[in-house]
Amino acid sequence: MLRLTELALPIEHAPEALAPAIQQRLRLPDGDLRTFTVFKRSYDARKKGSALSFVYTVDCELRDEAAVLAKFKDDRNVNPAPDVSYHPVAAAPAGFGNRPLVVGFGPCGIFAALILAQMGFRPIVLERGKPVRKRTKDTWGLWRKNALNPASNVQFGEGGAGLFSDGKLYSQVKDPKFHGRKVLHEFVKAGAPEEILYVSKPHIGTFRLTGVVTRMREEIEALGGEVRFEQQVTDLQVEDGHLRGVTLASGETIAADHVILALGHSARETFRMLHARSVYMEAKPFSIGFRIEHPQSLIDRARLGRYAGHPLLGAADYKLVHHAKNGRSVYSFCMCPGGTVVAATSEPQRVVTNGMSQYSRNERNANAGIVVGISPEDYPGGVEAGPLTGIALQEELESRAYVLGGGNYEAPAQLVGDFIAGQPSTALGEVEPSYKPGVKLGDLAPSLPDYAIEAIREALPAFGKQIRGFDRHDAVLTGVETRTSSPLRITRGDNYQSLNTRGLYPAGEGAGYAGGIMSAGIDGIRVAEALALSLLADAQQR
């Protein structure tokens, strides 16, 4: 297989135009191009005024690949295609009895369980929340009726935190074994649109993701795995540094010496339990801020110029960074084109924002977190206060937001112009906030530490220079965005196990090893592979 990169065609080209373009670029006689697949398709909208092209990477099967490679040996865009297919690292012997546990069924736990199931290890998944359907009903309870279910919500339940999301499927993690391709292939197999395999910034959207997750669970079960809902792990049994089992909220104990902990970043009581059991962990940096909303048309115009609204390009996104004078970095986070701001708390009397969209991304507003990086020195008590102090800060800010929002799960909000001017907002402009159950206009300054407010105030006009209108008076800020990533790391060694608790595999976002659906899925695969190899090695020694 040969890989051809940077093949540009006008965006409105017919699908049939691709094969002749490849043939022409590689100077192939008729019939020499046997088949090809598009590996990646992107566009570059940065050069304003010039005609926009799709830029392809294609993998081609040729009649005489060696001859073509020799002919183009000095051409950096013509190379042998790498093998990106997935190769399982182990297979469980028939009747293998030592079943691993996977705690949490978000993207990390799903992929860990799927890979273990595909290798024949018949994992048992313990998920504290409910299956998709019931969970969706509970989550809508907060959004529509101001009623939070702390056991079943945006953070907890089948599909994890990524279920009600924009479903963006890209990440910047190093992925030398192409596990990201495995993640995408499994999503497609479970019903995601095939284009996620090649568009440069794939996304699924909430509605489709719910079906995909259900089908992945069905595959795990068909392969002999079990997925148990409403089973919260509340304690661990550890003997001489070896994990021996877990206890559930029901009081049931399950013996196990290989357990993946894929908890997500909101499992605060579980983090506290692990700390009490002396599992090694440390505080780590995360970010705090607000969600910002603009009309999507404003972002499209700024990003795509005359191609704004083009159906082949979809709603435009952005990524912004500003280094403030007080030393803080402010950046856009989890940008959701054509989406909505969502209530994302899992705890009573707290308010947290995040963003989601449907596959079509056709809601009126664009939203993104505008957040400031903070580190353990900023947490109450500083570094000396231990690994849980970042959680204490999150809790404090989320409680403040609840009070500022009026104490009924509405979120505090302010217009960008008023925020920059330091005056409370009293009326909306043209931009209508999408947060449900609703927002309470006022002053956001008391919701975050002064250094964060100062840095965001400086960043917004700077962002307005990059995207015209970004700092328009009536853009809406909604607070607070505090769960950008885990505030701690459950540190693991080269063998993917906890530094001091053998058999415990901290994984995914909650453990500090992922920051998004794709990276959590990749981490789940890596950890499942390490666990499988360790299980087999232990079995051989017995």
Which is nearer to ligand FAD, 100 or 160 (by Cβ)? Answer: 160
Look-up: residue for tokens 């994302």?
Answer: 344
Give the distance from CA 284 to its chain's centroid.
Answer: 18
- Of the two residues 476 and 536, which places its CB atom closer to ligand FAD in the complex? 476
Closer residue to ligand FAD (CB): 262 or 525: 262
The nearest distance, CB 275 to ligand FAD, in angstroms, is 13
Query: What are the residues binding ligand FAD (CB under 6 A)?
Result: 103-109, 126-129, 154, 156-157, 160-162, 164-168, 232-233, 262-264, 267, 270, 334, 342, 344, 354-356, 508-510, 514-518, 520
Across 49-86, b (16+ Cβ under 10 Å) vs e yields eeebebebbbbbebeebeebeeebeeeeebeebeeeeb
- Minimum distance from residue 411 beta carbon to ligand FAD (Å): 13
How near is the Cβ of 206 to ligand FAD at its closest, in Å?
Answer: 9
CB of 521 to ligand FAD, least distance (A): 8
Cis before 480? omega within 30: yes
Got the DSSP string for 475-497? -EEEEEE--SS-SEE--B-TTSS
Strand-strand pairing, 329-336 and 365-374: antiparallel
CB of 441 to ligand FAD, least distance (A): 23
Element (H, E) at 2: strand 2-10
Please state the closest distance from residue 433 (CB atom) to ligand FAD, in A.
16
Q: How many CB atoms lie within 10 A of CB 255?
A: 11
- Rounded to a whole number of angstroms, the CA Rg of the chain reads 24
Q: Which is nearer to ligand FAD, 232 or 394 (CB)?
A: 232
Six-digit token pair at 429? 């402009």
CA distance 467 to 477: 17
Both structure tokens of 36: 């090809």
Residues 418-423: contacts with CB within 8 Å, 24+ apart?
A: 418/443, 418/473, 419/444, 419/445, 419/456, 419/457, 419/460, 419/477, 420/457, 420/460, 420/461, 420/471, 422/457
Pick the closer one to ligand FAD by CB: 401 or 520: 520
Smallest gap from Cβ 108 to ligand FAD, in A, equals 3
SS3 category, 263: coil
Nearer to ligand FAD, 54 or 333 (CB): 333
Residue 302 or 518: the one with the smaller Cβ distance to ligand FAD is: 518
Decide whether 356 or 366 has the Cβ nearer to ligand FAD: 356
| CB of residue 356 to ligand FAD, shortest distance in Å | 5
